[in-house]
Amino acid sequence: MASQLLDVKGLNCPLPILRAKKALKDVAIGGTLEVLATDPGAVKDFEAFCRTTGNELVSSKEEGKVFSFVIKRTS
Amino acid sequence: MASSPLYIVLCSGEHEKLQMAAMMASVGAVSERPVEVFVSMNAILAFAKDAPAADARYQGGAFSKLLKEKRAPDAITLFRQGKALGDLKLWACSMALDVKGWELSALVDDLFDGALGLTKFLSDAENGQFITL
């Protein structure tokens, strides 16, 4: 289970990424954030976001039309 | 991870281009990429402090109507979020300010890092990726 949850369902690019960046500031290093999103570009966007920010994308799942990502804050 | 900085010259006053610039600048900044935006020509008019409500501030075509209908995030708000969450700087073109007879104080508060000449901006941008809108 992620330590924090961010629900950005219904929001379009770039808001899910901006909200995730903001939420990650409140996650302790080593802690995790779960993000729920419906933006169709979210899977590739969150992969790229984690790669460029150096955070770890622990999991990426799709259930129905909702994508869920678990991001581990690494620094 | 250090990424090549992104330099955006924003000169169009069209809503769609202002929105795209704000999206690129904010996403770039939160992706830990330094971003600098140089605002000139018609684009600077959209940043006037005394501009009317958002619907009138942003003028554009068919997609602008959709952005307004769907209540897409305000471009100036996106720039502000990018500044709050990452390394994003906005510069007002010193020529544009001069031609308009404006000081920096004529522009919306807490957004611009200062006025800058094009020569300095181009020189700073030598080693980054350059985009014009």
Inform me whether the C-beta atom of residue A49 falls under 8 Å from chain B C-beta atoms: yes
Catalytic residue among A9, A10, A12, A13: A13
- Interface with B, mutate which of A49, A52, A57, A75 (most B CBs under 10 A): A52
> Are A18 and B23 a contacting pair at CB < 8 A?
no
**Among A14, A22, A53, beta carbon nearest to B32:** A53
Question: If you average pLDDT over every residue of chain A, what do you get?
Answer: 93
pLDDT value, residue A51: 93
pLDDT value, residue A40: 87
| Residue A39, phi then psi, degrees to nearest 5 | -60, 125
Q: Which domains does chain B have, with CATH numbers?
A: 6-132 (3.40.1260.10)
- Interface with A, mutate which of B30, B32, B33, B81 (most A CBs under 10 A): B30
Cα dihedral B10, B14, B17, B19 in deg (nearest 10): 110
- CA pair distance B51, B106, nearest whole angstrom: 10
pLDDT 10s digit of each residue in chain B, 133 long? 568 999 999 999 999 999 999 999 999 999 999 999 999 999 999 999 987 776 678 999 999 999 999 889 999 999 999 999 999 999 999 999 999 999 999 999 999 999 999 999 999 999 899 999 9
Q: Which residues of chain A have pLDDT under 50?
A: none
- Amino acid letter for position B55: D
Inform me whether the C-beta atom of residue A66 falls under 8 Å from chain B C-beta atoms: no
Beta strands in A1-75 (DSSP E): 4-8, 32-37, 56-63, 66-72
pLDDT value, residue B51: 75
pLDDT value, residue A75: 84
Exposed e or buried b per residue across B63-86, where buried means at least 16 C-beta atoms within 10 angstroms of its C-beta: ebeebeeeebbbbbebbbbbbbbb
- Helix B15-30 crosses helix B75-85 at what angle (to 10 degrees)? 10
The CATH homologous superfamily for domain A4-72 is TusA-like domain (3.30.110.40)
pLDDT value, residue B2: 65
B126: region left, alpha or beta (phi > 0 left; psi from -120 to 50 alpha): alpha
Inform me whether the C-beta atom of residue B85 falls under 8 Å from chain A C-beta atoms: yes
> Are A18 and B27 a contacting pair at CB < 8 A?
yes
- CA pair distance B40, B57, nearest whole angstrom: 16
Domain boundaries, chain A: 4-72
What are B64's two structure tokens?
Answer: 């602008």
pLDDT value, residue B128: 94
